[in-house]
């Protein structure tokens, strides 16, 4: 019987972090925070150097709006000694500061690839370990070194490098456009340099928040993709009846439709389709691990499926915040 050859998949113990990505993501977050700190220091030096002029007495108050934030500023109190060409040069240097930090290493060796590729390799390792546990056939005919040197694996790493650089290029350009609006508005309306620098700093905080969300999506996404592809390739190479079991991050803040998939079985293709829908891939810590099904297309250990179903039923979402009257 085929079922005698199939063993139970390994289920991560941490229910809130089934991808085991909390530490890798935190490491990348610290790197991002340091890069934005360096951007702020360089930006402050640049503004101190370039935003020169003279104050003009005024008691009028005005407001500057950027994004969803309203800043109260002193209107008409500062006259800048700056031509259009000088403003254009300042904005060019803003772009250089952003690129030097966010695109460090260039398209061939971008700083963030170290984190993304490490997660892709970890996902491949996890899939290898899990499939080896479940299938003696897989264990006998597959080595980790073999997997990491296959052309298909190396091609995926190359594709990941291109898409990751494109994402960070877009964020750098978006931040540059945002800061260009802030600085141009400040010069045009006479917002003094100190208040301008404060607005710039807060807009960089918004960019950093976007960068962290992108980093989490890229890291966990790389791990999940590696597991998904090895699940597919093991089916193609060895003829194994492989699928994936969804393990939701059972946090109070988890999305209900993510939790609803906890413990259910999907093909790798269906998993990929689901992550392509809406915003399912963003800020998601769910995992899908490879499972080998029996001749009837079922997981060998029904007790495991029942246990996961109980976890799904026991999950409680965070209470909704009451609206202020």
Q: Residue 140 is inside which H or E element, if any?
A: helix 136-141
pLDDT reported for residue 323: 53
Q: Write the pLDDT tens digit of every residue in 119-163.
A: 999 999 999 999 999 999 999 999 999 999 999 899 999 999 999
pLDDT reported for residue 60: 53
pLDDT reported for residue 3: 44
Domain residue ranges in the chain: 24-239
pLDDT reported for residue 278: 87
Q: Write the pLDDT tens digit of every residue in 27-66.
A: 999 999 999 999 999 999 999 999 988 887 555 555 555 5
Cβ–Cβ < 8 Å for 71, 84: no
- Res 75 pLDDT > 60: no
Q: What is the mean predicted confidence (pLDDT) over 5-17?
A: 83
Confidence of residue 70 (pLDDT cuts 50, 70, 90): very low
Instruction: Return the axis-axis angle of helices 151-189 and 193-238, rounded to nearest 10°.
Output: 160
CA atoms within 13 A on the CB side of 77: 15
- Res 190 pLDDT > 70: yes
Confidence of residue 300 (pLDDT cuts 50, 70, 90): confident
Q: Write the pLDDT tens digit of every residue in 199-211.
A: 999 999 999 999 9
What is the DSSP code string of 58-114?
---EEEEEETTEEEEEETT-EEE---HHHHHHHHHHHHHHHHHHHSTTTTTS-TTHH
Tokens 């997997």 locate to 147
What is the DSSP code string of 190-230?
T--HHHHHHHHHHHHHHHHHHHHHHHHHHHHHHHHHHHHHH
């Amino acid at each position: 019987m085929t079922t005698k050859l199939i063993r139970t998949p390994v289920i991560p113990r941490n229910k809130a972090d089934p991808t085991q990505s909390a530490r890798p993501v935190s490491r990348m977050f610290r790197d991002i925070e340091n890069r934005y700190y360096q951007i702020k220091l360089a930006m402050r030096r640049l503004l101190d150097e370039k935003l020169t002029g003279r104050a003009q007495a005024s008691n009028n108050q005005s407001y500057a709006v950027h994004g969803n934030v309203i800043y109260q500023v002193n209107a008409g109190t500062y006259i800048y000694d700056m031509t259009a060409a000088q403003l254009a040069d300042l904005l060019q240097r803003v772009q250089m500061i952003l690129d030097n930090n966010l695109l460090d290493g260039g398209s061939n060796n971008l700083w963030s690839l170290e984190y993304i590729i490490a997660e892709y390799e970890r996902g491949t390792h996890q899939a290898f370990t899990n499939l080896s546990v479940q299938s003696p056939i897989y264990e006998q005919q597959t080595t980790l070194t073999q997997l990491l040197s296959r052309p298909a694996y190396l091609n995926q790493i190359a594709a990941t490098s291109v898409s990751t650089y494109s994402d960070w290029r877009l964020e750098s350009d978006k931040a540059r456009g945002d800061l260009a609006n802030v600085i141009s508005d400040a010069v045009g309306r006479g917002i003094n340099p100190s208040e301008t620098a404060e607005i710039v700093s807060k807009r960089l905080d918004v960019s950093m928040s976007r960068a962290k969300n992108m980093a989490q999506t890229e890291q966990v996404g790389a791990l999940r993709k590696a597991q998904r592809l090895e699940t597919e390739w093991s089916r193609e190479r060895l003829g194994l009846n492989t699928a994936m079991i969804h393990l939701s991050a059972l946090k109070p803040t988890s999305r209900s439709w993510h939790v609803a998939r906890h413990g259910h079985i999907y093909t790798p293709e269906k998993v990929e389709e689901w992550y392509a829908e809406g915003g399912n891939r963003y800020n998601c810590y769910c995992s899908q691990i490879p499972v080998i099904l029996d001749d009837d297309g079922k997981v060998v250990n029904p007790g495991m499926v029942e246990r996961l179903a109980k976890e799904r039923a026991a999950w409680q979402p965070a209470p909704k915040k009451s609206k202020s009257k």
